[in-house]
Amino acid sequence: MENNSTLEILIKYLPKIKEMYGMIETRQKQLAEVYPSSHIVDDLLFELSEYTIEVLEDYLGDSAQWLSWYINDNDWGEENLEAGYDGNTQVINTTEKLAKLIDEGKER
């Protein structure tokens, strides 16, 4: 990894991933109107988005997959779920808190 911090990388790429998710959702709705029984494109778009997250997790060294958790389970921080290590948890609802959590995981 270059000299970019986890936070800098997340600030750069999370908005792009969120935009991609929005575009995928829009396309899924449009395709469902035309091909209501087809899920092939839905599956392909889902796999593409998951692969994108996996690549970024690998790049960040996020072996605990906190990024995936933040996006999918914690709904981009909107669910205000708690996470942490060794019983020391906090609500992860900002990019800064996510970056800190990922960095803490790299030190383990």
Q: CB–CB of 93/103 below 8 Å?
A: no
Q: CB–CB of 45/20 below 8 Å?
A: no
> What is the distance between the alpha carbons of residues 78 and 49, in angstroms, rounded to a whole number?
19
Kindly report, residue by residue over 36-53, the tens digit of the pLDDT: 777 776 677 788 889 999
Q: What is the mean pLDDT of the chain?
A: 90
Percent of the chain exceeding pLDDT 70 equals 94
State pTM to two decimals: 0.86
